[in-house]
């Protein structure tokens, strides 16, 4: 029995999106999104977050690089991960890191699954209203898979 035959009515997901900044959470989510796209023979869109927020890996790891360098680094990493799995990904740059921009991206692309990395609350706003991953899961217009990073050790 094939992977898709296990699901009655065909594959549950046809268009997967993943949110990618330069954080470990996002890289872990990207790997899961690639697995989901492979499993369901689904299209894969990658939303590249251009503006690093405080506390994100992007703000720390890519400090000092110009926008073109940051984009090239992100695209190379995404290509390496997706090519290794034989998945073709379509990257799109999102300017900003707001939940609204991400949800608009998912709606505009017609995605039926969004994969995001779990994040922790970094600011008083996050502690009061929830992290970006919590906001997206709560307000999402499609299924949302929140991926936790693997435990250390």
Give the pLDDT of residue 1.
44
Residues 48-67: tens digit of each pLDDT: 876 544 444 444 444 555 66
- b/e per residue 95-129 (b: at least 16 CB within 10 A): eebbbeebbebbeebebbbbbbbebeeeeeebeee
Please tell me the distance from the alpha carbon of residue 15 to that of residue 147, in angstroms, as a whole number.
18
Of 28-32, 56-60, 96-100, 147-151, give the lowest mean pLDDT range.
56-60
Proportion of the chain above pLDDT 70, given as a percent: 68
**Higher per-residue pLDDT: 120 or 141:** 141
Give the range with max mean pLDDT: 75-79, 108-112, 146-150.
108-112
Res 56: pLDDT: 46
CA distances from 29 to 14, 66, 69 (A): 17, 25, 22
With a CB cutoff of 8 Å and minimum separation 6, the contacts of 121 are 127, 130, 131
pLDDT tens for each residue of 24-53:
888 889 999 999 999 999 999 999 876 544
Q: What is the pTM of this model?
A: 0.73
18 vs 26: CA distance, rounded Å = 8
Q: Could you tell me if 99 and 49 are in contact, meaning their C-beta atoms sit under 8 angstroms apart?
A: no
The DSSP symbol for 27 reads: H
Q: What is the residue-averaged pLDDT of the chain?
A: 76
Give the Cα separation of 140 and 122 in Å (integer): 21
SS3 48: strand
Domains annotated on the chain, with CATH? 13-147 (3.40.50.620)
């Amino acid at each position: 029995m094939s992977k898709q035959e296990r699901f009655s009515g065909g594959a549950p997901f046809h268009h997967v999106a993943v949110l990618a900044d330069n954080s470990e959470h996002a890289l872990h989510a990207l790997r899961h999104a690639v697995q989901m796209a492979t499993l369901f023979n689904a299209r894969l869109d990658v939303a590249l977050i251009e503006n690093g927020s405080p506390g994100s890996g992007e703000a720390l790891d890519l400090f000092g690089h110009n926008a073109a360098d940051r984009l090239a680094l992100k695209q190379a990493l995404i290509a390496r991960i997706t090519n290794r799995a034989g998945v073709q990904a379509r990257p799109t740059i999102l300017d900003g890191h707001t939940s609204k921009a991400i949800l608009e991206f998912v709606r505009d692309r017609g995605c039926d699954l969004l994969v995001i990395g779990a994040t922790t609350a970094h600011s008083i706003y996050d502690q009061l209203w929830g992290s970006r991953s919590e906001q997206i899961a709560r307000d999402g217009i499609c299924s949302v898979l929140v991926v936790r990073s693997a435990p250390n050790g």
